[in-house]
């Protein structure tokens, strides 16, 4: 079954600290993995995308890693800011098959950064 | 830069009523999607469209209909609303190019009483 599991479900950290969010997937065939940030009351916004051959990709203070062998990804946030408080959603894209929906969404990790 | 615009932002309906949610994008995107987001669950695809005049069922299509008469608009209809359809509905769009992200609207919060 195609699934994306994220951990932890929620996380509270102090401003300025680092944190790492995890994503494990069983999606096949794999095309790419994307991390989205969803602020409260807003739609998700793409942070990074990783294809099969990529191990690490950075976007400012966000660094995503991918291990395609173990089917695991992580999102590391450095020097957290209050504005990082949001839900972070891991999304895996399947290679498109006619009649099958290609995206598999995780349930998200709710991050709260406190002063 | 409007991006993806959803209307209305909030709506309360009574069971059995009908309504249409409108999604408009100004990025000339080929693909458009309707999702619902419920507490404790990931986004679930309701219907999608790969071009003007075409639609397809997603993961949870029952109770919903869609139309894509114009490339920039994607309509989601509820013919007879049920309390189980209380949710936040998101529309998204993207280009047809490989590995491009979906761009989401800010959602429509729908309550069915």
Residue A18, min C-alpha distance to chain B (Å) = 25
> Is there a contact between B88 and B36 (Cβ–Cβ < 8 Å)?
yes
Q: For residue range B60-86, list pLDDT tens digits in order.
A: 999 999 999 999 999 999 999 999 999
Residue scoring higher pLDDT (B81 or A101): B81
DSSP A54-71: --EEEETTEEEEEETTTT
pLDDT at A76: 98
Percentage of chain B lying above the pLDDT 70 cut: 99
Distance, CA of B32 to CA of B42 (rounded, Å): 18
Residue A27 has pLDDT above 60, yes or no: yes
The pLDDT of residue A101 is 63
How many Cβ pairs within 8 Å bridge chains A and B? 40
Residue B110 scores a pLDDT above 60: yes
pLDDT tier at B40 (50, 70, 90 boundaries)? confident
Q: Which DSSP category does B100 fall into? A: P
Q: How many CB atoms lie within 10 A of CB A22?
A: 15
Touching check for A4 and chain B: CB below 8 Å? yes
What is the predicted pLDDT for the residue at B100?
A: 85
For range B85-93, the mean pLDDT: 97
pLDDT of A29 > 80? The answer is yes
Which pLDDT score is estimated for A97?
58
Contact B30, B48 (CB under 8 A): no
pLDDT band at A103 (very low <50, low <70, confident <90, very high): confident
Task: Give B19 to chain A, closest Cα distance, Å.
Answer: 21
Instruction: Report the residue from B40, B45, B102 with minimal CB separation from A101.
Output: B45
Give the Å distances, CA to CA, from B75 to A41, B20, B29, B95, B104: 21, 7, 15, 18, 15
Is the model's pLDDT at B36 over the cut of 70? yes
Q: Given the DSSP bridges, would you call strands B108-112 and B10-13 parallel, antiparallel or unpaired?
A: parallel
Rounded Cα gap, residues B96 and B79, in angstroms: 30
Q: For residue B17, what are its two tokens? A: 């009523």
Q: List chain B residues with CB under 8 Å of A89.
A: 42-43
């Amino acid at each position: 079954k195609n699934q994306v599991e994220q951990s932890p479900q929620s996380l509270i950290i102090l401003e300025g600290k680092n944190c790492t969010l995890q994503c494990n997937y069983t999606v096949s065939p794999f095309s790419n993995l994307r991390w989205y940030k969803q602020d409260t009351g807003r739609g998700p916004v793409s942070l990074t995308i990783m294809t099969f051959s990529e191990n690490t990709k950075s976007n400012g203070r966000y660094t995503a890693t991918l291990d395609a062998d173990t089917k695991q990804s992580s999102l590391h946030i450095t020097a957290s800011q209050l504005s990082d408080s949001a839900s972070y959603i891991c999304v895996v894209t399947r290679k498109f098959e006619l009649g099958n929906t290609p995206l598999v969404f995780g349930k998200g990790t709710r991050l709260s950064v406190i002063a | 830069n409007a991006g993806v615009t959803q209307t209305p932002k909030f709506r309360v309906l009574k069971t059995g009523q009908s309504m249409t949610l409108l999604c408009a994008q100004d990025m000339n995107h080929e693909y458009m999607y309707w999702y619902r987001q419920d507490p404790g669950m990931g986004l679930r695809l309701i219907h999608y469209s790969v071009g003007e005049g075409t639609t397809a069922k997603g993961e949870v299509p029952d109770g919903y209909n869609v139309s894509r008469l114009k490339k920039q608009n994607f309509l989601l209809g509820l013919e007879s609303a049920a309390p189980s359809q209380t949710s936040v509905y998101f529309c998204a769009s993207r280009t047809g190019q490989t590995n491009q992200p979906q761009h989401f609207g800010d959602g429509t919060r729908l309550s069915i009483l």
